């Protein structure tokens, strides 16, 4: 077969090969020293954030396979299926990185479940698996749109992006944990391909069926309400003064900005404009 190398998923497939990284190769020696120098509240904020990341990566790694299957079942492009194999592998690398960081830097068992608030549990443990598992019995445009809106736009595009921002700000403001920052840089670059693919797939669906837009906006509004709830749930235990100068308003604004950027791209596709 002749592959269309000009298609965005095929370009991202090539980028995934070029930027392949090894979580086992990141030096965590400085992180071990830095970790011991953080106070209990600082450690708790990072454990909170990283517990959500670790479980989030485990959830997306487990939940993605039905999408790859559904795209093939619909007779979609081979290029998209090939791209999705890279995303599946990326998510496993992310699981490996956070698992290694906990094991080698924190070096003690952490009750990670204590950090999953009600909104987080709803998004990651209910909405995400439900939307993706649904594809096993229904490969309609609506079912696919709901999966992309949940996985690529809300979980990756809003929540993960906001989490990186919080973690980057925390590490940068204190000049600590270079191994974590290096891992986050790789994860963030991978995630930008994932979000770009989700937007591409949704744009394709919307250009073919603009009447899907009303369903998409209803779904996005429902998902956004839950996603924005994750931030105050996570930061509530720290009261007014959150370690590392993190602020609830700053994080909520950042999450909303991410949401609006993606919403605007999709809205332009419905209007028939180039992204
Ligand atoms: Fe990931
Ligand atoms: Fe991802």
- Segment 45-80, tens digit of pLDDT: 999 999 999 999 999 999 999 999 999 999 878 999
Over residues 181-201, mean pLDDT:
96
Instruction: Tell me the CA–centroid distance for residue 151 and ligand 1, in Å.
Output: 11
Instruction: Tell me the CA–centroid distance for residue 194 and ligand 1, in Å.
Output: 8
Specify if 33 maps to a domain: yes
Instruction: Tell me the CA–centroid distance for residue 188 and ligand 1, in Å.
Output: 8
Q: Residues with Cβ < 8 Å from 221, sequence gap 6 or more?
A: none
Q: Residues with Cβ < 8 Å from 231, sequence gap 6 or more?
A: 162, 248, 251, 252, 255
What is the domain extent for residue 91?
Answer: 27-270
pLDDT at 172 over 90: no
At 1, is the pLDDT very low, low, confident or very high (cuts 50, 70, 90)? confident
Specify if 275 maps to a domain: no
Q: Given this model, what pLDDT does residue 119 score?
A: 97
Instruction: Tell me the CA–centroid distance for residue 60 and ligand 1, in Å.
Output: 7
Domain count, the chain: 1
Over residues 151-160, mean pLDDT:
96
pLDDT at 40 over 80: yes
Q: Given this model, what pLDDT does residue 207 score?
A: 94
pLDDT at 274 over 60: no
Dihedral of the alpha carbons of 162, 164, 249, 36, in degrees to the nearest 10: 150
Instruction: Tell me the CA–centroid distance for residue 272 and ligand 1, in Å.
Output: 31
Ligand nearest to the CA of 86: 2
Specify if 67 maps to a domain: yes
Specify if 78 maps to a domain: yes
Specify if 227 maps to a domain: yes
Instruction: Tell me the CA–centroid distance for residue 227 and ligand 2, in Å.
Output: 16
Instruction: Tell me the CA–centroid distance for residue 155 and ligand 2, in Å.
Output: 8
Specify if 141 maps to a domain: yes
Angle at alpha carbon of residue 44, lines to 42 and 48, rounded to 5°:
120
Specify if 1 maps to a domain: no
Instruction: Tell me the CA–centroid distance for residue 194 and ligand 2, in Å.
Output: 5
Look up the pTM and report it.
0.95
Instruction: Tell me the CA–centroid distance for residue 108 and ligand 2, in Å.
Output: 27
Distances in whole angstroms, Cα of residue 141 to Cα of each of 125, 212, 225, 228: 23, 8, 23, 26
Angle at alpha carbon of residue 193, lines to 170 and 191, rounded to 5°:
30
CATH of residue 166's domain is 1.10.620.20
pLDDT at 103 over 90: yes
Instruction: Tell me the CA–centroid distance for residue 151 and ligand 2, in Å.
Output: 8
Tell me what the pLDDT averaged over the chain comes to. Answer: 95
Tens-digit pLDDT profile for residues 225-254: 999 999 999 999 999 899 999 999 999 999
Specify if 38 maps to a domain: yes
């Amino acid at each position: 077969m002749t592959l269309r190398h000009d298609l965005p998923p095929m370009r991202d497939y090539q980028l995934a090969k070029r930027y392949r990284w090894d979580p086992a190769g990141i030096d965590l020696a400085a992180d071990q020293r830095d970790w011991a120098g953080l106070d209990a509240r600082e450690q708790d904020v990072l454990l909170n954030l990283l517990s959500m990341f670790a479980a989030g990566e485990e959830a997306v790694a487990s939940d993605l396979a039905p999408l790859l299957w559904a795209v093939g079942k619909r007779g979609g492009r081979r290029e998209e299926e090939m791209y999705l194999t890279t995303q599946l592998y990326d998510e496993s690398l992310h699981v490996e990185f956070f698992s290694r960081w906990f094991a080698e830097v924190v070096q003690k068992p952490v009750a990670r479940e204590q950090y999953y608030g009600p909104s987080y549990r709803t998004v990651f443990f209910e909405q995400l698996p439900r939307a993706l598992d649904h594809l096993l019995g229904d490969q309609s445009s609506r079912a696919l749109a709901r999966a992309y809106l949940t996985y690529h736009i809300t979980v990756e595009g809003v929540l993960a992006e906001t989490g990186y921002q919080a973690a980057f700000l925390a590490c940068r403001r204190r000049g600590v944990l270079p191994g974590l920052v290096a891992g986050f840089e790789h994860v963030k670059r991978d995630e930008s391909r994932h979000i770009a693919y989700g937007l591409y797939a949704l744009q394709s669906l919307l250009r073919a069926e603009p009447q899907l837009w009303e369903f998409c906006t209803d779904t996005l509004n429902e998902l956004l309400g839950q996603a924005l709830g994750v931030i105050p749930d996570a930061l509530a235990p720290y009261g007014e003064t959150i370690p590392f100068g993190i602020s609830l308003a700053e994080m909520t604004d950042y999450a909303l900005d991410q949401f609006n950027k993606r919403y605007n791209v999709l809205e332009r596709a419905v209007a028939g404009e180039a992204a």
